[in-house]
């Protein structure tokens, strides 16, 4: 099941909203978490329609519109979103409202907090009656959405599909989830994240929508050949076996990979998984990383996929994302490998 | 050639029973699970009736054979109980393992704990072990770990059509040969979060819900979990096990109209049912019974009713909403009602639309009001529609 | 009454988050729903919350909202009538 990536819209902590340019500069932060750079949402959504939308919904609709316009597509055959947390801001409004008593709750945050609001607001904006779904499984959310879209295409139910990965962070949610050990306890510099030597990741956020199609077009970046999720592998050996069989299922060996983009997030407890693979099966591979640019969030592979697609399109690896430095002339095959807390592991394979 | 998808196991817990046999007893006796709240603590507890699962969390933990309740949401407990029952019902522990997935649905995950501990989350460390329970994936992963399922694990959240979409995806994964077996369904615990949300929308009925009644005035919130074991026809042959029905068709469509309202003529409902018939390769006249979404809101019942009239023009099958039995189980409604629909096939009956007194003048058909038994029922359709206009229709056929 | 109307315009804009609309854009007599401002059923529910929160007036049946929320003036009239009663 191969799909062409024909359009991308990405809102992230980097300068990524213009599909015509590829990382013109790297934005440096010293922060508790990396916040997405908001475009002017009024350029994309009319204010009356936007009156009930929290920032996450606006991010979703805007990145979806950028992806559609990048691909020159008016009406997708399917709209599928992955979001680990949905609208945190709206959920918090309800929870703090309930803390103050349940008498005077207003309906808007409840409506927006429903996880499938993003997919359905995109459908309303486009007046699209086609297949619509939403996946909410931690670091499998975006991957499940991609798999569904590729299956739609394989089944012949869709010629193209709009697929997104979107999550937000708030001060309040950061404070709470810090206590469960997810994040660093103090602000860090994003560019030196790998040498932090501390537990916890640097949190981030972003919205990435893709138009996948069954046909190559003028706007094609590359192909997305396969997506796999691996749930809770026993050990690194089992993980390596899964990765190798994924590649071999797709007719590749490890030495044919021109780069592997890995999900290092600066958490010394869990980056060991990448280190083991890096000195194991990926010993001779060009290794790249991306979470210093966008932070850690459940759908961060939405950012990694953008990187991979642009590397293949521009035939260029930005120096800022290299973990090691191997010479390469032709960039043909890129693997994205991500894991969160050694439970949700995923693989995305892209070909030029 | 797409593979056939069959159902070999069922597990359900709701206000009308902690397992399948109890559920069957309740529906045969036309016994509703709607009543007064016993466990959920909310300001609105006496204002509305609810279809609460009549057991405390520690009783549920016993049903799930857990020794320690810590770290478990009610959402996860309900899900574990129903998924375990389905797994055992299909006797999956007695046949060789094949590629097996878990596709679970929920709308607010472990909110039932988080809304209680939210103040603690903000001010102290006493409830830190419940922080990660917030995620929708939490209950799914607990079920996957308990059943030892790892080949494919995901969670769907499309509001009140969530579990129907879990079954839809499960069927597609098997038809396309990506998986051999899928445990699919949904789980939902009652929460103040939901009570306040639906109260703010002014769509909770002060008396037990009355779908398709002229005087209907909203929904009755319920809770519970329901899972089905889907298998390819080949996988189901292993071990001389019973097959209960075939999942013949599925369709999903989006209203693209309004975040919480259906189009007045039920366009999304029409499209979802039409698409399901097409996948099933069936005509409208092949359907013997529709288990309607039938929430009891003004808007849903008229839109769904008109869509049924248009699609089944002249050959309207028997119709009922079973929400007066179970309440609206929101994300779990799709799989719970799929199970009630399949029981109509296996038990040769049509379930009644309880609480219906004055039929809607806008509709030409009247839903079934009394249990019909000893009737050949071959093909049933189950509708589940959600916020955001997410509409899904499933078709099951007798084997 | 005119004072209340001006106050209500600001409150409606805030409650409904009508970012690009100023009080001067809203005519006291023009319809808020449908062809006027283009508000919908959810806005009506938000306005019910506004009346209860800011004026202590409880509307039990959302269907009553249709008349009360026809325009800013009808809202002001309803408030005047029921608060003094």
CA dist B280 and B294 (Å) reads 23
pLDDT score, position C62: 79
Nearest to A120 among B131, B145, B259 (CB): B259
| Residues A277 and A206 grouped into a single domain | no
* Chain A residues whose beta carbon lies within 8 Å of the beta carbon of residue C13: none
Span B123-133, pLDDT tens digits? 999 999 999 99
**Is B140's CB within 8 Å of A137's CB?**
yes
Do A196 and A228 share a domain, yes or no?
no
Residue C3 has a CB neighbour count (10 Å cut-off) of 8
Q: What's the whole-number average pLDDT of chain A?
A: 96
Q: Per-residue pLDDT averaged across C24-33, rounded?
A: 89
Catalogue the active-site residues of B: 160, 293, 328
Same domain, A188 and A317: no
Residues A241, A202: one domain? no
Bigger pLDDT: A256 or C34? A256
Examine the fold and report which residue of A183, A213, A243 is the final residue of a domain before the chain moves on. A213
Subunits that touch chain B (at least 3 Cβ pairs < 8 angstroms)?
A, C
Of A229, A262, A234, the closest CA to residue A246 belongs to A229
**C-chain residues near B200 (CB < 8 A):** 45, 49
- Number of independent structural domains in chain A: 2
If asked whether residues A186 and A277 sit together in one domain, one would say no
Size of interface B-C (CB pairs under 8 A): 14
Q: Is there a contact between C18 and A51 if contact means CB atoms under 8 Å apart?
A: yes
Residue from the list C40, C41, C45 with its beta carbon closest to the beta carbon of B200: C45
Cα C70 vs. chain centroid, distance in angstroms?
Answer: 8
- Quote the minimal CA–CA distance from A103 to chain C in Å: 10
Query: CA B324, CA B14: separation in Å to the nearest integer?
Result: 12
Report pLDDT for B327: 98
Q: DSSP for B144-199?
A: HHHHT--SEEEEE-BTBTHHHHHHHHHHHHHHTTS-SEEEEEEEE---HHHHHHHH
Minimum-distance CB partner of B258 among C40, C48, C49:
C40
Interface subset of A 292-351, CB within 8 angstroms of B? 343
A55 and A197 in a common domain: yes
Last residue of a domain, one of A213, A240, A275: A213
Give the chain A residue nearest B128 (alpha carbons). Answer: A180
Residues A202 and A233 in one domain: no
Q: What is the CATH number of the domain that holds A184?
A: 3.40.47.10
Mean pLDDT of A276-283: 97
Taking the C-alpha atoms of residue A6 and residue B58, their distance in angstroms, rounded to an integer, is: 52
Q: What is the C-alpha to C-alpha distance for residues A306 and B377, in angstroms, rounded to an integer?
A: 51
Question: Where residue A276 falls among pLDDT bands split at 50, 70, 90?
Answer: very high
Please tell me the distance in Å from A120's CA to the nearest CA on chain B. Answer: 5
Percent above pLDDT 70 for chain A: 100
**What is the band of B157 on the pLDDT scale with cuts at 50, 70, 90?**
very high
Residue of B nearest to C42 (CA): B201
Chain B closest-CA separation from residue C42 CA (Å): 7
Whether residue A261 sits in one domain with residue A181: no
Q: Which of B196, B199, B202, B257 to mutate to test the interface with C (most CBs of C within 10 A)?
A: B202
Q: What pLDDT score was predicted for residue C84?
A: 64
- Window from A129-133, A328-332, B152-156 with minimum mean pLDDT: A328-332
Q: Are residues A251 and A189 in the same domain?
A: no
Q: Given A47, A48, A106, which is nearest C46 (Cβ)?
A: A106
Q: What is the mean pLDDT of residues B182-186?
A: 98
pTM: 0.97
**Count of positions (residues) in chain A:** 352
Q: Which residues contact A173 (CB under 8 A, 6 or more apart)?
A: A85, A88, A92
| Domain enclosing residue A256, as ranges | 222-351
Q: Which CATH architecture has domain B1-399?
A: 3-Layer(aba) Sandwich (3.40)
Residue C85 has pLDDT above 80, yes or no: no
Interchain CB contact of A234 with B (< 8 Å): no
Do A186 and A261 lie in one domain? The reply is no
A257: tokens are 């990979």
Structure confidence by residue, pLDDT tens digits, B221-253: 999 999 999 999 999 999 999 999 999 999 999
Instruction: Look at residues A178, A196, A213 and tell me which one is the last residue of a structural domain.
Output: A213
Share of chain C above pLDDT 70, in %: 98
pLDDT average, residue stretch A115-138:
97
Q: Domain coordinates of chain B in residue numbers?
A: 1-399
Partners of C15 on chain A (C-beta within 8 Å) are 106
């Amino acid at each position: 099941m191969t799909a062409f990536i024909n359009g991308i819209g990405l809102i992230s902590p980097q300068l990524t909203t213009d599909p015509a340019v590829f990382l013109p500069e790297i934005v440096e932060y010293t922060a508790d978490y990396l916040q997405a750079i908001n475009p002017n949402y009024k350029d994309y959504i009319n204010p009356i329609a936007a009156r009930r939308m929290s920032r996450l919904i606006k991010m979703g609709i805007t990145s979806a519109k950028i992806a559609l316009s990048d691909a020159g597509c008016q009406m997708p055959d399917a709209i599928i979103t992955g979001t680990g947390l949905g609208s945190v801001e709206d959920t918090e409004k309800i929870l703090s409202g309930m803390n103050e008593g349940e008498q005077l709750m207003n309906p808007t945050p409840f409506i927006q907090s429903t996880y499938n609001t993003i997919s359905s607001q995109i459908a309303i904006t486009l007046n699209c009656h086609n297949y619509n779904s939403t996946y909410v499984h931690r670091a499998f959310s975006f991957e499940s959405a991609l798999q569904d879209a590729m299956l739609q295409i394989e089944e012949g139910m869709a010629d193209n599909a709009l697929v997104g990965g979107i999550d937000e962070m708030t001060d309040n949610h950061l404070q709470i989830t810090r206590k469960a050990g997810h994040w660093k306890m103090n602000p860090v510099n994003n560019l030196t994240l790998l040498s932090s030597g501390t537990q916890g990741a640097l949190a981030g956020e972003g919205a990435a929508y893709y138009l996948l199609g069954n046909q190559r077009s003028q706007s094609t970046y590359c192909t997305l050949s396969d997506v796999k999720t691996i749930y809770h592998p026993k050990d690194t050996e089992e993980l390596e076996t899964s990765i190798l069989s994924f590649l071999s299922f797709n007719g590749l060996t490890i030495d044919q990979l021109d780069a592997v983009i890995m999900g290092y997030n600066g958490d010394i407890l869990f980056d060991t998984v990448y280190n083991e693979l890096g000195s194991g099966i990926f010993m001779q591979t060009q290794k790249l990383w991306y979470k210093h640019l966008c932070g850690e969030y459940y759908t961060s592979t939405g950012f990694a996929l953008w990187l991979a697609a642009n590397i293949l399109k521009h035939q260029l690896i930005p120096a800022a994302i290299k973990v090691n430095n191997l010479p390469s002339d032709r960039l043909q095959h890129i693997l994205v490998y991500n894991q969160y807390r050694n439970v949700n592991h995923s693989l995305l394979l892209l070909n030029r | 050639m797409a593979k056939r998808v069959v159902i070999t196991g069922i597990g359900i817990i709701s206000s009308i029973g902690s397992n399948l046999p109890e559920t069957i007893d309740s529906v045969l006796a036309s016994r509703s699970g709607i009543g007064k709240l016993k466990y959920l603590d909310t300001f609105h507890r006496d204002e509305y009736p609810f279809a609460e699962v009549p057991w405390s969390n520690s009783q549920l933990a016993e049903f799930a054979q857990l020794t320690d309740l810590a770290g478990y949401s009610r959402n996860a407990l309900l899900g574990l109980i129903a998924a375990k029952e389905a797994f055992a019902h299909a006797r999956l522990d007695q046949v060789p393992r094949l590629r097996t997935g878990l596709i679970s649905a929920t709308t607010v995950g472990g909110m039932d704990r988080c809304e209680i501990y939210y103040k603690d989350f903000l001010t102290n460390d006493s409830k830190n072990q419940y922080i990660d329970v917030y995620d929708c994936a939490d209950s799914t992963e607990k079920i996957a770990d308990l059943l030892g399922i790892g080949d494919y694990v995901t969670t769907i959240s499309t509001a009140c059509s969530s579990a129907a979409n879990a079954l839809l995806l499960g069927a597609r994964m098997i038809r396309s040969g990506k998986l051999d077996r899928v445990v699919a369904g949904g789980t939902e615990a009652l929460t103040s979060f939901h009570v306040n949300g639906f109260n703010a929308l002014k769509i909770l009925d002060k008396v037990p819900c009355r779908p398709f009644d002229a005087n209907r005035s909203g929904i009755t919130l319920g809770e519970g979990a329901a899972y089905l074991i889907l298998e390819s026809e080949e996988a189901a042959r292993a071990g001389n096990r019973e097959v209960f029905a075939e999942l013949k068709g599925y369709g999903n469509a989006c209203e693209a109209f309004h975040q919480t309202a259906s189009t007045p003529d039920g366009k999304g409902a029409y499209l979802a049912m039409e698409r399901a018939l097409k996948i099933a390769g069936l005509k409208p006249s092949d359907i013997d019974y529709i288990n309607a979404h039938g929430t009891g809101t003004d808007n849903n019942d008229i839109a769904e009713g008109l869509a049924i009239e248009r699609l089944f023009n002249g050959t309207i099958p028997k119709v009922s909403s079973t929400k007066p039995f179970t309440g609206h189980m929101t994300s779990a409604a799709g799989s719970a009602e799929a199970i009630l629909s399949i029981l109509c096939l296996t038990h040769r009956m049509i379930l009644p639309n309880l609480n219906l007194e004055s039929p809607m003048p806008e509709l030409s058909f009247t839903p079934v009001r009394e249990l019909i038994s000893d009737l050949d029922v071959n093909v049933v359709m189950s509708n589940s529609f959600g916020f955001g206009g997410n509409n899904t229709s499933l078709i099951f056929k007798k084997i | 009454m005119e004072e209340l109307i001006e106050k209500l315009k600001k409150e409606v804009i805030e409650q409904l988050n009508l970012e690009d609309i100023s009080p001067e854009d809203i005519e006291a007599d023009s319809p808020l729903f449908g062809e006027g401002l283009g508000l919908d059923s959810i806005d009506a529910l938000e306005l019910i919350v506004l009346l209860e929160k800011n004026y202590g007036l409880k509307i039990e049946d959302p269907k009553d909202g249709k008349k009360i929320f026809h325009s800013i003036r009808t809202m002001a009239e309803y408030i005047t009538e029921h608060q003094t009663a």
